[in-house]
């Protein structure tokens, strides 16, 4: 299946975010699996969760498969892909100065292991860009 359209990748609202988080954690889920993860005091109706999950299917963020009498849903985009996309969207609209400052603040918040992984990735990207033919 094709990845979700760019404008539809945005998660809209707390319930959509909650549903996506549940599915990323579970790998795949039925409506009742998502409902069971909600606190009992504010658990949404089955039909509400199902409607929102079906909207996420229509937007290309989830896919579903019928298994018996119920649908099982899974994410079409990983959590890290989603985060990278949404952060990239925000940064794309920022000035170069604000973008650089925001990225540096994100890097400042990393622990040592995360910082090492970012440094390795930065080196790979730098080498790849250096080896590209110049126009």
- What pTM was estimated for this model as a whole? 0.76
Q: Has residue 16 been placed in a domain?
A: yes
Q: Are residues 103 and 70 in the same domain?
A: no
Rounded CA separation 135/121 (Å): 24
DSSP code, position 130: H
Rounded CA separation 127/10 (Å): 32
Range(s) of the domain holding residue 127: 94-131
Q: What total number of domains does the chain contain?
A: 2
The mean pLDDT of 78-102, rounded to a whole number, is 91
Lowest average pLDDT, out of 1-5, 19-23, 50-54, 78-82, goes to: 1-5
pLDDT in tens, 46-79: 999 999 999 999 999 999 999 999 999 999 999 9
Cα distances (Å, whole numbers) of residue 55 to 11, 40, 78, 119: 11, 24, 18, 38
């Amino acid at each position: 299946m094709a990845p979700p359209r760019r404008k539809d990748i945005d998660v809209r609202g707390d319930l959509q975010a909650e549903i996506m988080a549940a599915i990323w954690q579970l790998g795949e889920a039925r409506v009742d699996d998502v409902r069971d993860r909600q606190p009992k005091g504010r658990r949404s109706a089955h039909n509400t969760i199902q409607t929102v999950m079906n909207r996420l299917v229509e937007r290309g963020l989830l896919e579903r498969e019928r298994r018996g009498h119920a649908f099982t849903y899974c994410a079409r985009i990983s959590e890290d892909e989603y985060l990278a996309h949404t952060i990239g969207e925000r940064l794309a609209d920022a000035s170069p100065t604000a973008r650089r400052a925001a990225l540096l603040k994100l890097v400042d918040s990393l622990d040592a292991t995360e910082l090492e992984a970012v440094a390795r990735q930065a080196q790979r990207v730098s080498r790849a860009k250096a080896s590209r033919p110049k126009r």
